[in-house]
Amino acid sequence: MADEISLKETNQRRLLAIFAHPDDESFGPGGSLALYTRRGVEVHLICATRGEAGSIPPGFQNGYPSVADLREAELRCAASHLGLAQVHFLGYRDSGMTGSADNHHPQALIGAPIAEVAERITAVVRSVRPQVLITFDPIGGYRHPDHIAIHRATKQAFHAAGDPAQPPQDIAPFAPQKVYYHTFRRETLRSGLRLLRLFGRDPSRWGRNRDINLLELVEHSFPIHAEIDFRSVAKVKEEASNCHRSQLAGGPPTDWIMRWLFRRSRTRETFTRAYPPAPDSLREKDLFEGVIIDGAHA
């Protein structure tokens, strides 16, 4: 079961980010998380696994008994930079990419029933009482099976959290007001594909292990309903990302292309608003827009 926290004052703005692995929070919406902590929002993170299946360059595990210990330490470093109130681990194991041997580990996240994962997330939601939730988009950003599992479990937990008939029934129900999926503009990715081809890279075999098909990702586009300008804390996001040294080092030489492109073209992070349902034309600049706290708007 995830860690529990005591309920704090009811007039506090709270945000809960729900992801699968150490580094998802920093490489993903880290700018937004840092921005909100500096605006006085209490920001929590759920991390479903400790990233056991992540590949580690030689020498990076020195001093740590396992990959999981190393990656947890990297996450706690990043959380400190971002200003997170607490990291809640769900206790599952990293499943690895589709088709890897890690898929079949008995504690792998993708082997757990979605209802079980959702109940663990529900427990944290009810304990933290966030008005806003953030998680992966429906394809998990780049089709990682753990990301997709967390997306599905979070959707289920969101609906369960406010229903007193749903477990765990020893924690009072609480219904978040808004749910966002972190996503990205496909125009940026298309620019990256052109650059990769220019440098002779196959975009269907991208990443350190060449197991990500970028061509598939441009086939799916999600509406952008919110855009958060994080320029004032861009350095903080960079510092948090740099904590995940084992995941930044040792990739193919041309992987810098995509990292450079995203850093250069984005001083904003983009989100799809899943709840309340939104028209495609909606453009929010604050994830707490319209949120009511103790009878007043945030």
Q: What are the φ/ψ torsions at residue 245 (nearest 5 degrees)?
A: -60, -35
Residue 3 lies in a domain: no
Residue 184 lies in a domain: yes
Residue 6 lies in a domain: no
Q: Rounded CA gap, 78 and 71, in Å?
A: 10
Give pairs for 203-208: CB < 8 Å, separation 24+.
206/255, 206/258, 207/251, 207/252, 207/255, 208/55, 208/250, 208/251, 208/252, 208/255
Q: Global pTM?
A: 0.89
Give me the CATH number covering residue 236: 3.40.50.10320
Strand locations in 20-119 (E): 42-47, 86-89
Residue 89 lies in a domain: yes
Instruction: Return all residues near 84 (Cβ < 8 A) that are at least 6 apart.
Output: 25, 33, 37, 43, 44, 45
What pLDDT sits at residue 80? 98
What pLDDT sits at residue 194? 74
What pLDDT sits at residue 263? 59
Number of domains in the chain: 1
Residue 199: CB atoms within 10 A of its CB come to: 10
Polymer length of the chain: 298
Q: What are the φ/ψ torsions at residue 177 (nearest 5 degrees)?
A: -95, -25
Residue 4 lies in a domain: no
Residue 294 lies in a domain: no
Residue 40 lies in a domain: yes
For residue 175, which of 124, 123, 115, 125 has the smallest C-alpha distance?
125
| Spans in the chain with pLDDT lower than 70 | 1-10, 190, 204, 206-211, 215, 250-266, 294-296, 298
SS3 content of the chain, % helix, strand, coil (to 5): 40, 15, 45
What pLDDT sits at residue 2? 41
Range of the domain at 130: 14-279
Residue 284 lies in a domain: no
What pLDDT sits at residue 4? 36
Rg, Å, the chain Cα set = 19
Which residue type is seen at 298? Answer: A
Q: For residues 248 and 260, is the Cβ–Cβ distance under 8 A?
A: no
What pLDDT sits at residue 7? 43
What pLDDT sits at residue 254? 44
- Tokens 């992801």 found at: 19
CA angle 216, 221, 227 (to 5 degrees): 130
